[in-house]
């Protein structure tokens, strides 16, 4: 019988309103007991003195690039990066080659994940066939094969009638619809946020309005259809306000924000460095403050990385030719602590909720809590350990990050999936 | 990082003044041809043009030759670029041949900035996308100085497709550093509000007469009607509202200097009467282009 006892950690489980320094026992991959001075006879022991023991963190928005783009990332390497970032579950977007728009592709991903993944992998299926925005994908059969949501991430559905049909269908099969909100006509040709910086640098802009227009459209359609609707990587003040308004009206609407959208603005960009190129783009101070406020007040429910690996050569080009996206799994907790917890903007339980209880609820995952009998996914983190991110040591196959060399205070120390320690930091201080 | 010339924005006023002052030494005396120097004898300059350009490329070539440097000019068509080689690989290949400087024009904004992080060779930006065209702004400043003696306190109207103009950006950055009042004018979709925020002393108007009234200098920009994919403005009425005609010039100061970076489109953004008038400095600009580029190459190369 495999048994792991995590001793003397500060156990914080927002789903159960628990915040207590005590012991946690895991048996056969399940949470068995939370109590003081648990007997460790015959058990593996992890001394978590001075550390926080949280439910396993869930990243509801990553790109694993498999199948089709294995030169940039695979399910194995991406999931190992997740483990190294303290995530025990990740949800992979369908923009692979082929697109995950059928039960066959979903099953392939589920099977590869079962064999090679270091953490739990939950696929997200496409909304439309080939994410082309026209015909609906095989949504119900993908659900049977294991998808937890639908999204045409990166290729927003421009046709409002198609979105409406998808929402109706998703509601009937009880799946949330996740939208990458970007009106492609308004953003056409854009490479960074439209504003003073893009004007200065002579780069074509992606206006906030391209995000806001689609959020507005979708919220109206979400009300019409009753779908559980989720805004991916929200980045503009108006969009945050509109989601707050929809929640106030009682709609089942949620949203997520990435660490880079609350940690950086377009003023932080190194000019023409594609490590700062992503969609939505880094916006202005007012927007990143709005995202932070949304995370504090509840109009934003989850932190998700939008981990988007691209191979070196793809990002070593003229800025306008580089693809969009940065990797983010290993820096998410550090950035969240830096921007939200250490400045006192959110208490620890809220911070953990954004990574655990909330994404689990949005996607109906039986994870994200340490209640007795639950799957033993645990993230052990330090609030104070000082460390510096070295992307060259990342398990990810890609290196596209603006955070290489950044010093952090606090971060993941060990990652436990189904009762097994799948990653631990080299040195504790 | 080797010292090249990537943009005007990062230059100080003193650095700009030094180039402008030095370029006077390279201007030919009236009625004479350019003098030859051997300041850069034994040095080699590669002109790498990823975008078609006759005047800028020729101007850089002549500038290098008149300083005694060897030059090679490469245009994108017929090079490895069309064979799918990446920009970094192309530049690394050239760098391996150890030129002393690379003069580069590219359609992507920031391409020279991106390359300068990886290359040990100084890069002179001869125009990058819709970002900057630093030597154009320098030669424009030289031309204004030749006619007016000072930049301080002048009112300069820049008219045309401001949004997509690297000439406009470089001029805005340069003129602003010298206390010039810059007025930008064009059809509203080509005149982003943020252009007024990238430097101090910049105002915006969509009204030609407002822009020109009391102007000391009028800079017309080329309007590339053929390149506007989804036509952000009604092209059919462009000349009526933004084309420079004699009646406009009357609103400016009597000694107004009319400029254009070329190539000009007669009847599209400027009338022939104005282009060929006494007030037009268009050919002086071309002449000054060589002198200013000589000063730039000397600054970059003469160690």
- The minimal CB distance from B192 to the residues A188, A199, A273 is found for A199
N-terminal to C-terminal alpha carbon distance within chain A:
32
Residue of A nearest to B164 (CA): A202
Q: How far is A54 from chain B (nearest CA, A)?
A: 42
Q: CB of B132 within 8 Å of any CB in chain A?
A: yes
Q: Which residue has the tokens 């730039």?
A: B296
Using pLDDT thresholds of 50, 70 and 90, give the confidence band for residue B144.
very high
How far, in Å, CA of A181 to CA of B213, rounded? 45
Residue A426 region, left (φ>0) first, then alpha (ψ -120 to 50), else beta?
alpha
Structure tokens at A306: 């939008």
B198/A196 CB distance under 8 A: yes
How far, in Å, CA of B95 to CA of B122, rounded? 10
B108/A321 CB distance under 8 A: yes
Residue of B nearest to A191 (CA): B109
- The minimal CB distance from B194 to the residues A199, A271, A313 is found for A199
Q: How far is B110 from chain A (nearest CA, A)?
A: 6
Q: Is B11 helix (H, G, I), strand (E, B) or coil?
A: coil
Using pLDDT thresholds of 50, 70 and 90, give the confidence band for residue B78.
low
Tell me which DSSP letter residue A332 carries. H
A199/B109 CB distance under 8 A: no
Residue of B nearest to A316 (CA): B88
How far, in Å, CA of A321 to CA of A119, rounded? 33
Chain A hits for B111, Cβ within 8 Å? 272, 318
Residue of A nearest to B132 (CA): A202
Give the H/E segment covering residue B60. Answer: helix B55-66
Q: How far is B88 from chain A (nearest CA, A)?
A: 7
pLDDT of residue A386: 97
How far, in Å, CA of A98 to CA of A68, rounded? 7
pLDDT of residue B81: 61
| Residues 6+ away with beta carbon under 8 Å from B110 | A201, A202, A203, A271, A272, A318, A319, B128, B129, B131
A321/B109 CB distance under 8 A: no
In A187-205, which positions are buried (b, 16+ CB within 10 angstroms) versus exposed (e)? beebbbbbbbbbbbbbbbb
A271/B194 CB distance under 8 A: no
Structure tokens at A48: 């978590």
How far, in Å, CA of B79 to CA of A388, rounded? 43
Domain residue spans of chain A: 3-53+374-386+407-424, 56-362
Least Cα distance to A300 among A237, A206, A366 occurs for A237
Least Cα distance to B186 among B269, B246, B263, B259 occurs for B269
CA dihedral A326, A331, A337, A339 (to 10 degrees): -30
Q: Is A153 a catalytic residue?
A: no
Chain A hits for B128, Cβ within 8 Å? 202
- The minimal CB distance from A319 to the residues B108, B169, B198 is found for B108
pLDDT of residue B2: 59
Structure tokens at A73: 């990332």
Mean pLDDT per 10-residue interval, chain A, length 429 residues? 93 98 98 97 96 98 98 98 98 98 98 98 98 98 98 97 98 98 96 98 98 98 98 98 98 98 97 96 98 98 98 90 97 98 98 98 98 98 97 97 98 98 78
| Residues 6+ away with beta carbon under 8 Å from A108 | A67
Which range among A97-106, B133-142, B257-266 shows the weakest confidence by mean pLDDT? Answer: B257-266
Q: Is the pLDDT of residue B262 over 50?
A: yes
Q: CB of B189 within 8 Å of any CB in chain A?
A: no
Residue of B nearest to A207 (CA): B192
Give the H/E segment covering residue B177. Answer: helix B166-177
B110/A271 CB distance under 8 A: yes
Q: CB of B85 within 8 Å of any CB in chain A?
A: no
Least Cα distance to A13 among A34, A40, A39 occurs for A34
Across chain B, mean pLDDT equals 93
Q: Is the pLDDT of residue B117 over 80?
A: yes
How far, in Å, CA of A304 to CA of A296, rounded? 15
Q: What percent of chain B has pLDDT over 70?
A: 95
B110/A318 CB distance under 8 A: yes
How far, in Å, CA of A354 to CA of A390, rounded? 25
Tally helices (H) and strands (E) across chain B. 11, 9
CA angle, residues A238, A243, A248, in degrees to nearest 5 = 125
CATH T-level assignment (fold) for domain A56-362: TIM Barrel (3.20.20)
- The minimal CB distance from A272 to the residues B9, B114, B197 is found for B114
Rg (CA), chain B: 19
Q: CB of B109 within 8 Å of any CB in chain A?
A: yes
* CA distances (Å), origin B10, targets A266, B132, B204: 18, 11, 23
B110/A200 CB distance under 8 A: no
Tell me which DSSP letter residue A282 carries. P
* CA distances (Å), origin A156, targets A107, A180, A221, B1, B240: 24, 6, 15, 41, 40
Residue of A nearest to B192 (CA): A199
| Residues 6+ away with beta carbon under 8 Å from B71 | B44, B45, B46, B47, B60, B61, B64, B65
Asked whether the bond before A106 is cis by omega within 30 degrees of 0, the reply is no
How far, in Å, CA of A25 to CA of B66, rounded? 82
Residues on chain A bordering chain B, Cβ-to-Cβ distance under 8 angstroms: 188, 194-196, 198-205, 271-273, 313, 316-321
Q: Which residue has the tokens 């628990």?
A: A18
Tell me which DSSP letter residue A393 carries. G
Chain B hits for A316, Cβ within 8 Å? 86, 88
Q: Which residue has the tokens 């805005």?
A: B172
* CA distances (Å), origin A122, targets A145, A148, A202, A309: 11, 7, 40, 18
Q: CB of B1 within 8 Å of any CB in chain A?
A: no
A319/B110 CB distance under 8 A: yes
Chain B hits for A205, Cβ within 8 Å? 192
Least Cα distance to A325 among A232, A234, A401, A388 occurs for A401
pLDDT of residue A428: 45
- The minimal CB distance from B88 to the residues A204, A273, A316 is found for A316
- What SS3 string covers A102-119? CHHHHHHHHHHHHHHCCC
pLDDT of residue A48: 98
Does this complex have an ipTM over 0.90?
yes
| Count of residues making up chain A | 429
Least Cα distance to B220 among B211, B230, B233, B210 occurs for B211
pLDDT of residue B302: 78
How far, in Å, CA of A340 to CA of A320, rounded? 32
Mutate to test the interface with B, among A187, A202, A319 (most CBs of B within 10 A): A202
Using pLDDT thresholds of 50, 70 and 90, give the confidence band for residue B231.
confident
Q: Is the pLDDT of residue B227 over 90?
A: no
How far, in Å, CA of A356 to CA of A87, rounded? 10
Q: CB of B228 within 8 Å of any CB in chain A?
A: no
A320/B109 CB distance under 8 A: yes
Q: Which of A306, A377, A384, A418 is catalytic?
A: A306
Q: CB of B166 within 8 Å of any CB in chain A?
A: yes
pLDDT of residue B232: 85
Q: Is the pLDDT of residue B80 over 90?
A: no
- Which residues is A76 bridged to in the sheet? none
Residue of B nearest to A274 (CA): B114
B109/A202 CB distance under 8 A: yes
How far, in Å, CA of A259 to CA of A256, rounded? 10
If one counts every other C-beta atom within 10 angstroms of the C-beta of residue A416, the result is: 25
pLDDT of residue B3: 80
CATH T-level assignment (fold) for domain A3-53+374-386+407-424: Urease, subunit C; domain 1 (2.30.40)
Q: CB of B9 within 8 Å of any CB in chain A?
A: yes
CA angle, residues A110, A111, A115, in degrees to nearest 5 = 115
Please say whether the beta carbons of A27 and A418 come within 8 A: no
Return residue ranges of chain B for CATH 3.40.50.1370.
13-131+286-301, 134-281
How far, in Å, CA of B303 to CA of B301, rounded? 6
Using pLDDT thresholds of 50, 70 and 90, give the confidence band for residue B86.
confident
Q: How far is A197 from chain B (nearest CA, A)?
A: 8
Selecting from 3.40.1350.10, 3.40.50.300, 3.40.50.1370, 1.10.1060.10, what CATH number does the domain B134-281 have? 3.40.50.1370
Please say whether the beta carbons of A300 and A294 come within 8 A: yes
- Which residues is B131 bridged to in the sheet? none
A200/B198 CB distance under 8 A: yes
Q: How far is A342 from chain B (nearest CA, A)?
A: 34
Q: Which residue has the tokens 């997200």?
A: A124
Chain B hits for A202, Cβ within 8 Å? 109-110, 128-132, 166, 169
pLDDT of residue B82: 62
CATH T-level assignment (fold) for domain B13-131+286-301: Rossmann fold (3.40.50)
Chain B hits for A195, Cβ within 8 Å? 194
Q: Is A181 helix (H, G, I), strand (E, B) or coil?
A: coil
pLDDT of residue A313: 86
pLDDT of residue A429: 39
| Whole-prediction pTM | 0.95
- The minimal CB distance from B113 to the residues A188, A205, A271 is found for A271
B129/A202 CB distance under 8 A: yes
How far, in Å, CA of A350 to CA of B156, rounded? 56
């Amino acid at each position: 019988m495999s048994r792991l006892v995590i001793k003397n950690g500060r156990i914080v489980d927002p789903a159960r309103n628990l915040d207590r320094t005590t012991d946690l026992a895991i048996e056969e991959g399940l949470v068995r007991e939370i109590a003081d001075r648990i007997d460790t006879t015959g058990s593996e022991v992890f001394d978590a003195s001075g550390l926080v023991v949280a439910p396993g963190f869930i990243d509801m928005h990553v790109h694993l690039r498999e199948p089709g783009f294995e030169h940039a990332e695979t399910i194995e390497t991406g999931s190992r990066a997740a483990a190294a970032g303290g995530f025990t579950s990740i949800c992979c977007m369908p923009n692979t080659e082929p697109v995950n728009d059928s039960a066959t592709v979903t099953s392939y991903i589920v099977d590869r994940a079962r064999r090679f993944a270091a953490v739990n992998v939950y696929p997200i299926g496409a909304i439309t066939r080939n994410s082309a925005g026209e015909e609906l994908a095989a949504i119900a059969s993908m659900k049977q094969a294991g998808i937890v949501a639908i999204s045409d991430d990166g290729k927003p559905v421009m046709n409002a009638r198609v979105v409406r049909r998808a929402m109706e269908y998703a509601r009937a099969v009880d799946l949330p619809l996740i939208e990458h909100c970007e009106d492609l006509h308004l953003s056409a040709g854009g490479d960074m946020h439209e504003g003073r910086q893009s004007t200065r640098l002579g780069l074509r802009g992606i206006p906030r309005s391209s995000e806001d227009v689609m959020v507005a459209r979708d919220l109206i359609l979400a009300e019409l259809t009753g779908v559980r609707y989720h805004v991916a990587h929200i980045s503009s003040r108006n969009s945050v306000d509109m989601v707050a308004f929809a929640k106030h009206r009682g709609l089942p609407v949620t949203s997520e924000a990435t660490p880079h959208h609350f940690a950086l603005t377009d003023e932080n960009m190194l000019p023409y460095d594609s490590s700062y190129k992503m969609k939505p783009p880094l916006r202005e101070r007012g927007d990143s403050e709005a995202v932070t406020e949304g995370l504090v007040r509840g109009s934003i429910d989850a932190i998700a990385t939008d981990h988007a690996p691209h191979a070196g050569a793809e990002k070593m080009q003229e800025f306008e030719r580089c693809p969009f996206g940065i990797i983010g799994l290993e820096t998410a907790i550090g950035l969240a602590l830096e921007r939200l917890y250490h400045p006192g903007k959110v208490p620890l339980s809220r911070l953990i909720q954004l990574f655990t209880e909330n994404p689990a609820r949005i996607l109906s995952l039986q994870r994200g809590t340490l209640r007795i009998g639950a799957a033993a996914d645990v993230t052990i983190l330090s609030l104070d350990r000082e460390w510096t991110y070295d992307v060259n040591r990342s398990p990810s196959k890609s290196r596209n990050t603006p955070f290489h060399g950044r010093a952090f205070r606090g971060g993941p120390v060990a990652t436990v999936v189904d009762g097994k320690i799948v990653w631990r930091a080299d040195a504790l201080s | 990082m080797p010292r090249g010339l990537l943009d005007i924005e990062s230059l100080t006023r003193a650095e700009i003044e030094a180039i402008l002052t030095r370029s006077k030494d390279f201007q030919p005396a009236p009625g004479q041809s350019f003098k030859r120097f051997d300041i850069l004898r034994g040095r080699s300059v590669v002109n790498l043009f990823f975008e078609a350009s006759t005047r800028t490329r020729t101007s850089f070539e002549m500038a290098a030759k008149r300083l005694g440097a060897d030059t090679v000019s490469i245009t994108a068509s017929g090079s490895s670029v069309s064979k799918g080689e990446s920009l970094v690989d192309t530049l690394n290949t050239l760098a391996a041949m150890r030129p002393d400087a690379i003069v580069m024009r590219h359609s992507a904004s920031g391409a020279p900035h991106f390359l300068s992080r990886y290359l040990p060779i100084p890069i002179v930006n001869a125009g990058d996308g819709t970002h900057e065209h630093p030597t154009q702004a320098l030669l424009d400043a030289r031309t204004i100085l030749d006619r007016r003696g000072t930049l301080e306190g002048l009112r300069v109207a820049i008219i045309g497709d401001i949004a997509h103009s690297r000439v406009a950006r470089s001029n805005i950055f340069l003129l602003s550093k010298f206390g010039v009042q810059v007025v930008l004018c064009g059809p509203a979709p080509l005149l982003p509000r943020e252009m007024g925020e990238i430097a101090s002393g910049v105002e915006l108007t969509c009204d030609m007469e407002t822009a020109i009234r009391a102007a000391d200098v009028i800079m017309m920009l080329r309007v590339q009607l053929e390149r506007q994919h989804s036509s952000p403005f009604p092209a059919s009425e462009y000349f009526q509202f933004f084309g420079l005609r004699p009646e406009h010039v009357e609103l400016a100061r009597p000694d107004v200097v009319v400029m254009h970076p070329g190539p000009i489109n007669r009847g599209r953004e400027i009338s022939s009467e104005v282009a060929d008038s006494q007030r037009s400095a268009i050919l002086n600009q071309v002449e000054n282009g060589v002198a200013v580029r000589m000063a730039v190459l000397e600054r970059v190369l003469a160690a």
